[in-house]
Amino acid sequence: MKNSMVFRLGFLVLTYLFLVNAELNTVWAQGVKKNKLRISADYVKIMDGDNYVNIKASARIEKKNVRVANIELSISNIVGEEVMELGRTTTDMDGVTKYVIHSLETIRPDSTGVFTILISFEGNDLYKKTSKDISFKDALIHANIVTKDSVNYMNARLLDADTGTPIQNESLIVQVERLFKPFIIGEDFNYTDENGSIHVPIEDNIPGVDGNLTFEVVLNDNDDYGTVKTIVEAPIGVPVVYESTFDKRTMWSPRSKTPLFLLIFPNLITFGMWGFIVYFIFNLFKIARS
- How many chain residues touch another protein (CB under 8 A)? 26
Supply the minimum distance, in Å, between the C-beta of residue 247 and another protein: 16
Among 49, 201, 239, 259, binds another protein (CB under 8 A): 259
In the complex, minimum distance from the CB of residue 66 to another protein, in angstroms, rounded to a whole number: 19
- 273 counts as binding another protein under rule CB under 8 A: yes
Q: Contacts by 86-94 with C-beta closer than 8 Å and gap 24+?
A: 86/117, 89/55, 91/55, 91/56, 91/57, 91/67, 93/69, 94/67, 94/69
What is the DSSP annotation of 112-177?
Answer: TSEEEEEEEE---SSB--EEEEEEEE-EEEEEEEEEETTEEEEEEEEEETTT-PBPPS-EEEEEE-
Of the ranges 97-105, 141-149, 180-188, 257-265, which one interacts with another protein (CB under 8 A)? 257-265
β-sheet bridge partners, residue 75: 87, 119
Output the smallest distance, CB 250 to another protein, in A.
8
The answer to whether residue 280 forms part of the interface with another protein (CB under 8 A) is yes
Q: What are the residues whose beta carbons fall under 8 Å from the beta carbon of 44, sequence distance 6 or more?
A: 51, 52, 53, 54, 226, 227, 228, 229
Q: Which stretch binds another protein (CB under 8 A): 55-63, 120-128, 176-184, 280-288?
A: 280-288
The answer to the question of residue 266 lying near another protein (CB under 8 A) is: yes
Q: Is 131 in the site for another protein (CB under 8 A)?
A: no
Q: What 8-state DSSP symbol labels residue 1? A: -
* Residue 242 DSSP SS3: coil
Does 268 contact another protein by CB under 8 A?
no
Stretch that binds another protein, among 36-44, 94-102, 122-130, 250-258 (CB under 8 A): 250-258
How far is residue 69's CA from residue 86's CA, in Å, rounded to a whole number? 21
Q: Counting contacts by CB under 8 A, is residue 246 touching another protein?
A: no
| Interface contacts to another protein, rule CB under 8 A | 251-255, 258-259, 262-263, 266-267, 269-270, 273-274, 276-277, 280-281, 283-284, 286-290
